[in-house]
Amino acid sequence: MPARPSVVDSSIFIPYFRSDTYGPLIRRLFGDGRLVLSSVVAAELLAGALNRGALNVCRQLFRRAQSQGLIAPPEHGDWLQAGELLARYARRFGAVDAAKHFPDILIVLTARRLGAELLTDNLSDMTTWARMLDPRDRRVPVVKPRPA
């Protein structure tokens, strides 16, 4: 059975860019063609690229992912489901900062749609959204990888 794809969150890419933390993991996933770059993660990375060097590193990653067919944008239905999930959360638990959580939900939904695992350092939020989506069956495995 082939290994499942891995949607990699910005919380993994950022330490990879800064100090090659998770470097062996990122290189292995690229090599196996299992790394999935969510367009949401790409936007988050660009938002944090505050100088030309950081911007170039991001663009290089994006080109490589695109050339290997590893880019996954959210679909229209993902956006709708994210809005419904935020409303359900607010009804159940009270007010929620939609702007803060929309990206995370879209990343979880992308992983779910692709049957992928989600690699993140943000276990708390990502696990919450994965459980809210699939309370019984938790289709999206949310994993915090060990740094190399």
Per-residue tokens: 97: 């900062």
Helix 98-114 vs helix 39-47: crossing angle, to nearest 10: 140
Q: Find out whether 7 and 117 touch, Cβ atoms under 8 Å.
A: yes
How does pLDDT run across 92-101, given as a tens digit for each residue? 999 999 999 9
pLDDT band of residue 147 (cuts 50, 70, 90) is confident
pTM of the model: 0.94
Closest by CA position to 41, among listed 88, 132, 103, 92:
103
Q: Find out whether 49 and 18 touch, Cβ atoms under 8 Å.
A: no
Above 60 in pLDDT, residue 1? no
Q: For the chain, give the mean pLDDT.
A: 94
Q: Which CATH class is domain 6-143?
A: alpha beta
Q: Find out whether 118 and 130 touch, Cβ atoms under 8 Å.
A: yes
Taking the domains of the chain in order of start, what are their residue ranges? 6-143
How does pLDDT run across 48-89, given as a tens digit for each residue? 999 999 999 999 999 999 999 999 999 999 999 999 999 999
